[in-house]
Chains A and B, each alone.
Chain A
Amino acid sequence: MKTNNIAFAFFCALVTAIMAFPLLGLKMVSEGTGMIIQGATASTWIYIASACMMVFLVQLFKTSLNSGVEQFKVQLSRLPTPSLPADQHVRLEKWALILIIGLALAWPFMTSRSSIDLATLVLIYVMLGLGLNIVVGLAGLLDLGYVAFYAVGAYSYALLNNYYGLSFWICLPIAGLLAATFGFLLGFPVLRLRGDYLAIVTLGFGEIIRIFLNNLTTLTGGPNGIPGIPKPTLPMIQTDPEFALISLDFSRSSREEGVVPFHTFFGLDYNPETKVVFLYLLALAMCLAIIFVIRRLIRMPVGRAWEALREDEIACRSLGLNRTAIKLSAFTLGASFAGFAGCFFAARQSFISPESFTFIESAIILAIVVLGGMGSQLGVILAAIVMIVLPELAREFQEYRMLMFGLLIVLIMIWRPQGLLPMQRPHLAIKEAEHA
């Protein structure tokens, strides 16, 4: 047995070397008219060698290490599974949510401009995560092309504004509606597909949409995108000189009809930060609305039907549930939230292009849902914060961001597939009833 172990450990180290040597140790560079191979720096060789050594040692002492890892895994999966009774835990979650919301409201008045900006980005991903959570977390449909609905929302605003001058507030519901329509159209063909096929087909749709956006240049601006998208304004009722509905925008001055700069209206000095704060609060308001709606939906027949579909589709059928309608409702509603998020995104960025809507975006949103815990709203919020804020904190590791991201997904699946904050069941009060 001992020799077997050593041989296998050596084999693993060898495989590691094979995987590392050519791709990390060598690199092609151009010299003159041709290409030559350049060896890596000494430190890279050392890393490679130590990696092989580590693999060798780990494999050699695998059995003793394994029991240690098992212990760790058991502890990890035991984490916040509470010993509290179910109803108390649900109340705890409610208070946690209230606390987070309070913090979120106070945030812009406590921190710097760039932090507010970052928080706005987090909120966008929270919106997207919550929307995808309906499709993946609640209904159990793995949608890998979610970014397509995000794109529809963004381009709706951009194009409607570009061609027809429609304002943000008018475009917001339209964006949601258009995205929902796309969700409906996409939902139809994928209805009968099995889980993994559904994933690939949705991925294909996402790519198809991106290709169309990239190539229908006269309509969508192609790879150059659409610039000059106006930021949202704050509707306000003006009482003097006359009663009118005006819009407050957040620039220094404004020459448009019916638009008054915010600072002028309130008699304040112009402060460029108010724009950022306004955007943040707007995103927060959208998030809160979405959280409220989804929280209700989960406790409604529609939400229960989604979860039932995820748990056991055949049982659903045997109870008379129409899985077509259930899947479509999940897709459509989930898509509409992405549409809202997309509209806001376009407004915030002022410029959109197909580059923002690649598969990687879908993967990030999926990772947020999975990391948070399928179905869990609080989990999605936490995961979005982790996924967006952490890379910012570790700026020096920017290069390794995507690498770590991929690794993180694998590790979560292996070690804690239920996510950081697994969804808690709602607790229902039972009255003893006398008759059916």
Chain B
Amino acid sequence: MLESLLYFIQQLINGLTLGSAYALIAIGYTMVYGIIGMINFAHGEIYMIGTYVAFLAITAMGMLGIEYLPVVFLFALLSSILVSSAFGWSLERIAYRPLRGSNRLIPLISAIGMSIFLQNYVRLGQGSRDVALPSVLTGGWTFGPDDGFQASLSYMQLLIFIVTFISMSLLTSFISRSRTGRACRAVAQDMKMANLLGIDTNRIISLTFVIGAALAAVAGVLLGMQYGVANPFIGFIAGLKAFTAAVLGGIGSIPGAMLGALILGIAESMTAAYFSSEYKDVVSFGLLVLILLFRPTGLLGKPEVEKI
């Protein structure tokens, strides 16, 4: 009895951890969709790039003999954010901005092209095989009987929670309180009007992409450290799941993306634990299909009225 409860709690912890990281990626999707109405198909690759840069940074630190965790972590975080943001900014300018205004499918196809391009760009530079990172942060708390199943909360998982929480708080206060944040909300609501009011919409759109990329980079660092392995194709599945989370919560809504991601993380974790780990992706996709069938506006989204 206690054992199954502990097992359940473990899956819950795992799910919430996963979900928090997904939330960071999902926010990128939801912000971009909210502001220019397009699905940034290449966003998953931005996350993947964040992971790779984190790996490089941590390895570099190791080579220099620096082992003090906060320094290593901070360096990995900053370099990932820097590189991912550069990619996010360029992505928008090169592949999406020229296509603004054309029907929805054209930027989407362009995004698919960019996604393939980025996957292979990293593959050419870093090889297509998995790269591994030795554990940086080990250990944690365990609870449970000494002779039975022990649930654990690792320090790494705790770090994920803390960093995610800080990132979300920063983002939320930025969006709701700063002047630029207000501008972001204005552009998301009515771009033409915002333009007329003198807001530089191009700059805001670039900023949205950069913020999304930065958050995806953070997710890349955290999940990279957690799993310790990466390859150029992890962005594809992670991206799809994060997108599912964004839709689940209501595309365009930042709190929705967070909620959707947590639900998705838990669902995935539970499926892997209680059912089968091969089919956990099917659960994510299945959730996506169900949500789009029965409540396409998501849990926290507002129903859209078709303008005729």
Contact = CB atoms under 8 A, between A and B. Distances in A.
Given A37-B59, A211-B279, A359-B236, A413 B99 contact: yes
Given A211-B281, A406-B120, A27 B127 contact: yes
Interface in B96-114: 98-99, 102-110, 112-114
A196 B105 contact: yes
Interface in B27-82: 38-39, 49, 52-53, 55-56, 59-60, 62-63, 79, 82
B80 to A, nearest CB: 9
Interface stretch (A77-85, A91-99, A201-209, A261-269): A201-209
Given A23-B121, A23-B122, A413 B106 contact: yes
Nearest to A140: B105
A314 B308 contact: yes
Interface in A153-201: 189, 192-197, 199-201
A36 B236 CA distance: 27
B282 interface: yes
Chain B's interface size range is 35 or more
Interface of B is mostly: helix
A403 B121 contact: yes
B35 to A, nearest CB: 15
Interface string B126-139: 11000111100000
Given A15-B89, A22-B83, A410-B110, A402 B289 contact: no
Contact of A413 (B56, B60, B109): B109
B134 A35 contact: yes
Interface string A341-370: 000000000000000000110010011001
B124 A403 contact: yes
Contacts of B49: 23
A34 interface: yes
Nearest to B121: A403
Contacts of A203: 240
Nearest to A318: B308
A405 B106 CA distance: 16
B98 A406 contact: no
B87 interface: yes
B115 interface: yes
A398 B131 CA distance: 23
Given A193-B292, A195-B105, A360-B116, A28 B110 contact: no
Interface string A270-292: 00000000000000000000000
A406 B281 contact: no
A37 B115 CA distance: 26
Nearest to A217: B278
Given A409-B116, A413-B113, A35 B59 contact: yes
A304 to B, nearest CB: 20
B286 A208 contact: yes
B125 interface: yes
B227 interface: no
B212 interface: no
B255 to A, nearest CB: 21
Contacts of B118: 406
Given A22-B79, A204-B288, A413-B106, A35 B112 contact: no
Given A207-B285, A409-B116, A414 B124 contact: no
Given A37-B59, A402-B116, A414 B99 contact: yes
Given A27-B126, A208-B282, A413-B99, A201 B113 contact: no
Contacts of A15: 86, 89-90
A363 B116 contact: yes
B299 interface: no
A18 interface: yes
A417 B289 contact: no
A409 B95 CA distance: 10
A414 B100 CA distance: 10
Contacts of A363: 112, 116
Contacts of A61: none
Contacts of A24: 121, 124-125
B165 interface: no
A388 B124 CA distance: 21
Contacts of A400: 120, 124
Interface of B: 38-39, 49, 52-53, 55-56, 59-60, 62-63, 79, 82-83, 86-87, 89-90, 94-95, 98-99, 102-110, 112-127, 131-134, 236, 240, 243-244, 247, 278-279, 281-282, 285-286, 288-289, 292-293, 296, 308
3 nearest CB pairs, A to B: A409-B113, A406-B117, A406-B116
12 contacts: A19-B87, A22-B53, A23-B52, A28-B55, A193-B292, A196-B38, A204-B244, A211-B281, A215-B278, A366-B109, A370-B109, A406-B114
